[in-house]
């Protein structure tokens, strides 16, 4: 719902600019023909961003669960006001700027000290070890969940049977 409000608010701001442009004398409007094209591009971008935001937040209610939720998501706070919407727009603009070529110097200045500190505290070999542990745990969980039952029967049960045959539980 918030994404629809953001879309409508953004389109309303563009509409205000279009109305102002239309209120100008014809001579001035002709001088600003590229600006009119820019406003049309903005409307297209707003619609595309709306679709992307819908995809991003589609499953946000179950983001950290491994099962889809059948219950609707309840709004915790009241509907956003214009200040909230301005903050979202500013954040999106900053995000785009941060990761564009234009923001590379600022990105280097702001993020490199943080990244350097993280790498100093958690050297790459530690991260690699951590990734190995995470991968092993993920594989273990998958193998012993319902999802891995077929694989477990074909791969692990023969091995476990062989181990139990060679080393019965009373001799272990």
CA angle 112, 116, 121 (to 5 degrees): 150
Same-domain check for residues 56 and 126: no
Nearest to 147 by CA among 66, 68, 70: 66
75 and 104 belong to one structural domain = no
Residue 47: which domain range?
Answer: 1-80
Regarding whether 112 and 58 lie in a shared domain, the answer is no
Average pLDDT, the chain: 77
**33-90 tens-digit pLDDT:** 899 999 999 999 999 888 888 887 776 666 555 555 565 555 566 677 788 788 888 8
- Is residue 94 in a domain? no
pTM assigned to the model? 0.43
Residue at 135 is within a domain: yes
Number of domains making up the chain: 2
15 has pLDDT over 90: yes
Rounded Cα gap, residues 157 and 12, in angstroms? 63
Q: What are the pLDDT digits (tens) for 127-151?
A: 667 677 677 767 766 666 666 667 6
Give the pLDDT confidence score for residue 4 in this predicted structure: 72
C-alpha span between 125 and 134 (Å, rounded): 14
- The verdict on 5 and 67 lying in the same domain is yes
């Amino acid at each position: 719902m918030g994404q629809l409000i953001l879309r409508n608010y953004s389109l309303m701001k563009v509409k205000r600019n279009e109305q102002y442009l239309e209120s100008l004398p014809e001579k001035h409007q002709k001088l600003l023909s590229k600006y009119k094209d820019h406003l049309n591009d903005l409307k297209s971008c707003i619609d595309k961003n709306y679709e992307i935001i819908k995809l991003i937040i589609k499953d946000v209610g179950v983001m950290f669960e491994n099962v889809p939720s059948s219950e609707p998501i309840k709004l915790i706070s009241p509907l956003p006001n214009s200040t909230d919407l301005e903050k979202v727009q500013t954040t999106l603009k900053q995000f785009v700027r941060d990761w564009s070529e234009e923001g590379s110097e600022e990105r280097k200045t702001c993020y490199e000290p943080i990244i350097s500190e993280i790498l100093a505290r958690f050297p790459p070999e530690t991260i690699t070890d951590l990734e190995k542990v995470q991968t092993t745990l993920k594989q273990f969980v998958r193998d012993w969940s319902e999802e891995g039952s077929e694989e477990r029967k074909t791969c692990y049960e023969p091995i476990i049977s062989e181990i139990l045959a060679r080393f019965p539980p009373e001799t272990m």
